[in-house]
């Protein structure tokens, strides 16, 4: 399918309006179709009390097939990137998170459990003051 030019936001994600309409039509036809076929077929092979339940199940199966089919026809529009969002620069980090590096350092030094966790993650020394500041 061609890439659409315009997108709309539905439930927090961008979709193509045309694709959405077609997807709903395909899924609904398969779902209701499954249910109605079940209503015709199951009286021949199943007990009377189970006809409705089995038909419902066939209808839902239709919906799931619709999901798989639509996932193949309409590729996702969303863009997935895999960048590291971590900020490596300590100064920038301190500014973005609005924290006091000295206080952070004190807490890390006072709490051995947290210190060990951060050490294992390699972020213990992120807020370590420079040599000059330590003596103040």
State which of positions 49-88 bind another protein (CB under 8 A).
50, 52-53, 55-57, 59-60, 62-64, 66-68, 70-71, 74-88
Query: Closer CB to another protein, residue 41 or residue 87?
Result: 87
Rg (alpha carbons) of the chain, rounded to whole number:
29
Helix-helix angle 112-121:101-110, to 10 degrees: 110
User: Binding to another protein by residue 15, rule CB under 8 A?
Assistant: yes
Distance of closest approach, residue 37 Cβ to another protein, in angstroms: 12
For residue 89, the minimal CB distance to another protein (Å) is: 11
**In the complex, minimum distance from the CB of residue 45 to another protein, in angstroms, rounded to a whole number:** 17
Q: Does 14 bind another protein (CB under 8 A)?
A: yes
CB-based contact 66:27 (threshold 8 Å): yes
* Cα distance between residue 104 and residue 33, in whole Å: 62
Residues 1, 74: contact at Cβ < 8 Å?
yes
């Amino acid at each position: 399918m061609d890439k659409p030019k315009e997108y709309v936001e539905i439930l927090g994600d961008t979709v193509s309006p045309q694709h959405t309409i077609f997807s709903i039509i395909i899924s609904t036809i398969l779902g209701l179709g499954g249910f109605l076929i079940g209503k015709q077929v199951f009286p021949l092979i199943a007990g009377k009390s189970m006809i409705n339940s089995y038909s419902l199940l066939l209808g839902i199966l239709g919906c799931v097939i619709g999901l798989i089919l639509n996932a193949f026809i309409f590729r996702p529009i969303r863009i997935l990137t895999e960048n590291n969002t971590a900020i490596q620069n300590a100064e920038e980090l301190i500014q973005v998170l609005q924290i006091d590096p000295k206080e952070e350092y004190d807490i890390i030094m006072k709490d051995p459990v947290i210190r060990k966790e951060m050490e294992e993650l390699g972020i213990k020394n992120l807020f370590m003051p420079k040599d000059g500041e330590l003596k103040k």
